[in-house]
Amino acid sequence: MIREEQTTIGFHVWGAEKLSEEKLTVLRLDNDGITYAMAVTEEGYLLHVYYGKRCGDDDLTYLLHLDEGNYTPQHHNRERMGFMDSRPFEYPCHGIGDFREPCFMILDGDGMSACDLRYKNHRIVSGKPELKQKGVSCIPATFAKEDEAETLIITMEDEHAGLTAELSYTIFRDRNVITRAVKVYNRGYGDVRLQRVLSACVELPGMDYEMITLNGNWARECAVSRVPLHAGKQLTDSLRGVSSAQHNPFMALCTPGTDEEHGEVYAFHLVYSGNFLAEAEVTGGKQTRTVIGINPYDFSWLLRPEEEFQTPEAVLVYSEEGLGGMSRTFHDLYRSHLIRSYWKDRERPILINNWEATYFNFDQDKLYAIAEEASKLGIEMLVMDDGWFGCRNFDDNSLGDWVVNEEKLKGGLKPLTDRINALGMKFGIWFEPEMVSDNSELYRAHPEWAIQIIGRDLTQARAQYVLDYSNAEVRDYVYGMLTNILNSANIEYVKWDMNRALTEVGSTSLPRKRQRELWHRYVLGVYDLMNRLTTDYPKLLLENCSSGGGRFDPAMLYFSPQIWASDDTDAIERLKIQYGTSYCYPVSAMGAHVSDCPNHLLGRTTPFDTRGDVALVGTFGYELDVTRIPAEDRAKIPGQVAKYHRFHKLMSDGDQYRLGNLFKDNTYDAWMFVAKDKSEALLTYVQVLGKPSEPAKRLYLRGLDADRKYFCEETGQTLSGKTLAACGIDVGLRGDFVSKTFYFKAEEA
Ligand code: DGJ
């Protein structure tokens, strides 16, 4: 899978008659689907040769055109800058003649920023070593067993600055995936500041690509944007301290015309929950440099002698089967090599959350009444959302005071959870552990624990501040409060919320020289606490949330197998949100609930069945007062519950195919889930707008076995996979906002 080869190229240095030679060491990662190749020059420059579709076992270094006069990498070559500024580099450094987007930039003891990492050696290991940094408890990343992946670790050195950088590349045995990360080590000449340490750079040939990103806002997460590249830099990023609802840490470049099935896609995803940057630069030489990593904006990390710094992991997915192929690769990878929860392959309990049912206005009896009714309908868990602690009857107080409000819940949590458990239901609870309200006991006792700049006004958002999670004392204190609550009753689920971005980013506990590290130290602090929580309570079902999907990123998936996708619970808006989210994330991770109508956010009314079918494809639940909804809606819940139980495994383990695209055609959406062994499939169809005088909507099915015959329960027809793909089925319905599902079962072979 990973191998090293030697090759030699001949070239003429300008003005010289004699043919010169350059020896190159080629490092190559291959599996059946992809090839990734690099070359090391005699002077130790690490060049990028190729990434993409699996190619033959040929010498690929001709792609570098090193034999052309300007680009020869010889010592004292008068055209060294021509070489530096035009050749594709694996990990480009700032300040030495490559003026394109760099991955690495420092500030050394002399105040200099140039750096020059050169190849020293490499090693190959089976499997995938964990990402580690001394003093950091947990860095989320994909994992693999020894026989599932191989890792190449290339050691680079900047002798002048006394720095070593280990570039790691993991290739998964049977997935079109390379993961990359970088670890920098200060070998000891003096202090160095890391100003920019990105996780990966990949140079793609030419510039004829389209850039796809996932953008939005609160309640409108993961809207797909697709634009052709233009000369210069184009990027997606976050400066909010969280990965954000505005931009997901994802970027893909695809060949023009790429659709769900065809076209080449190079996708990049950062396993990180803080400020990120993903950028494509079309260079003067009409090549495309892509980089991804921690956003260098306002980042500076002091690296003292013998200290190390580990970047987050970048996941590179290649697909020659369009966007559908890209998504299925992400889904498979994340389901089996990123989510580590006890719950990852288990059917999640169908929950009812009281947020949209009661907001802050509830007590034990109200919650019990909801649970009692819900249990009769087959719902399996009650989640008590915001408002159970301190004196929280509105959103302007008590965050940080994680003690039960006994006016609402007399006797604490145990009496309530005991009653819920007696109904045969599980119980879950909401926290927002990273926050402190301006009006709270915690803030009054420890104002210094909020992220702040002393002497400046603190910007409030929802009347709250962000706790300084770079400070272990703060984390320990919060964790103590959480565990007191978790140990006080039978709590089997936690919704971990996070409802504001970071401002006045300063810490009262960090020294002046390390203040700019707070952005990243904050994220590491969050990981530390999530790691403790999931280690100490291994069977706890953790659901992440950040004002909906404001921190829906792969690092959060490492800790929590499901993430609340959006506060927008309107079934029609959800179609777009879930569509974009499914670009990278499996449906088993996508929190989706049926809510009441008119929808609290939009005022739109949709049929209860449609709300059920839209939520069905996610981690299913309800977000309504089941005691007050119309009786005919309530009567449908047992059927929806049964449907989820019936199809859950197929959807969460199967292959997903998107048959519609609401960003292009807003009249319908349709998804298919096909079992890995192709023995069954489910088609979900939502008609957003009915159309008069048109033929019924025809959907061409995907992913089925062409040679097998499938019986469709809804149409009563038996047709071959070949026919269903070529001729499709007609799914036209009457009306707006209506939905239908179709189940296909393969005949025994
Ligand atoms: C934002 C979340 O996205 C909602 O689901 C809800 O938990 C509220 N916070 C509670 O304040």
Closest CA relative to residue 613, chosen from 590, 643, 589, 588: 643
Residues 655 and 674 sit within 8 Å (Cβ to Cβ): yes
pLDDT of residue 6: 97
Counting ligand 1 atoms within 8 A of each CB, the residue from 217, 355, 593 with the most, and so the one to mutate, is 355
Question: pLDDT tens across 289-309, in order?
Answer: 999 999 999 999 999 999 999
Look at residue 379 and tell me whether its pLDDT is greater than 70. yes
Closest CA relative to residue 216, chosen from 580, 562, 496: 580
Site residues for ligand 1, CB cut-off 6 Å: 355, 385-386, 430, 497, 499, 545, 547-548, 564, 567
What one-letter code names the amino acid at 214?
L
pLDDT of residue 220: 97
How far apart are the CA of 615 and the centre of ligand 1, in A? 18
Counting ligand 1 atoms within 8 A of each CB, the residue from 352, 384, 395, 430 with the most, and so the one to mutate, is 430
Alpha-carbon gap, residue 223 to 228, rounded angstroms = 17
Q: Which domains does the chain show, CATH number per domain? A: 2-337 (2.70.98.60), 351-653 (3.20.20.70), 668-746 (2.60.40.1180)
How far apart are the CA of 535 and the centre of ligand 1, in A? 25
How far apart are the CA of 647 and the centre of ligand 1, in A? 28
**Nearest atom, ligand 1, residue 545 CA:** 3
Q: Write down the catalytic residue from 497, 553, 570, 613.
A: 497
pLDDT of residue 393: 97
Chain centroid offset of residue 269 CA: 7
Task: Give the contacts of 91 (CB within 8 A, at least 6 positions apart).
Answer: 46, 103, 104, 117, 156, 165, 167, 182, 201
Q: What is the pLDDT averaged over residues 127-135?
A: 98
pLDDT of residue 246: 98
Q: How far apart are the first and last CA of the chain?
A: 35
Question: pLDDT tens across 210-234, in order?
Answer: 999 999 999 999 999 999 999 999 9
Q: What is the pLDDT averaged over residues 612-631?
A: 98
pLDDT of residue 10: 82
How far apart are the CA of 355 and the centre of ligand 1, in A? 7
Q: What percent of the chain has pLDDT over 70?
A: 98
pLDDT of residue 69: 62
Question: pLDDT tens across 523-553, in order?
Answer: 999 999 999 999 999 999 999 999 999 999 9
How far apart are the CA of 92 and the centre of ligand 1, in A? 42
How far apart are the CA of 547 and the centre of ligand 1, in A? 6
Look at residue 386 and tell me whether its pLDDT is greater than 70. yes
| Nearest CA owner, ligand 1 atom 2 | 547
pLDDT of residue 602: 96
How far apart are the CA of 716 and the centre of ligand 1, in A? 43
**Nearest atom, ligand 1, residue 550 CA:** 3
Question: pLDDT tens across 306-337, in order?
Answer: 999 999 999 999 999 999 999 999 999 999 99
How far apart are the CA of 395 and the centre of ligand 1, in A? 10
- Looking at per-residue confidence, does 19 or 130 come out higher? 130
How far apart are the CA of 462 and the centre of ligand 1, in A? 12
Q: Write down the catalytic residue from 85, 98, 528, 567.
A: 567
Task: Give the contacts of 664 (CB within 8 A, at least 6 positions apart).
Answer: none
**Nearest atom, ligand 1, residue 395 CA:** 11
pLDDT of residue 76: 56
Q: What is the pLDDT averaged over residues 258-265?
A: 98
Q: What is the pLDDT averaged over residues 573-584?
A: 98
**Nearest atom, ligand 1, residue 547 CA:** 3
Counting ligand 1 atoms within 8 A of each CB, the residue from 499, 500, 556 with the most, and so the one to mutate, is 499
What one-letter code names the amino acid at 230?
H
Residue 593 burial (CB < 10 Å; 0-12/13-18/19+)?
A: buried
Alpha-carbon gap, residue 461 to 436, rounded angstroms = 11
Q: Is 567 a catalytic site residue? A: yes
Counting ligand 1 atoms within 8 A of each CB, the residue from 354, 545, 551 with the most, and so the one to mutate, is 545
Question: pLDDT tens across 644-664, in order?
Answer: 999 999 999 999 999 999 999
Question: pLDDT tens across 42-93, in order?
Answer: 999 999 999 999 999 999 999 998 877 666 666 556 678 888 999 999 999 9
Task: Give one DSSP letter per residue of 663-681, joined into a string.
Answer: TT-TTEEEEEEE-TTSSEE
Alpha-carbon gap, residue 591 to 561, rounded angstroms = 10
How far apart are the CA of 12 and the centre of ligand 1, in A? 66
pLDDT of residue 749: 73
pLDDT of residue 11: 76
Question: pLDDT tens across 5-53, in order?
Answer: 999 988 776 666 777 788 999 999 999 999 999 999 999 999 999 999 9
**Nearest atom, ligand 1, residue 385 CA:** 7
Q: What is the pLDDT averaged over residues 359-375?
A: 98
Counting ligand 1 atoms within 8 A of each CB, the residue from 564, 569, 595 with the most, and so the one to mutate, is 564
Residues 575 and 569 sit within 8 Å (Cβ to Cβ): no
| Nearest CA owner, ligand 1 atom 11 | 386
Alpha-carbon gap, residue 108 to 599, rounded angstroms = 56
Task: Give the contacts of 188 (CB within 8 A, at least 6 positions apart).
Answer: 162, 305, 306
Average pLDDT, the chain: 96
Q: Is 363 a catalytic site residue? A: no
pLDDT of residue 77: 64
Alpha-carbon gap, residue 604 to 615, rounded angstroms = 16
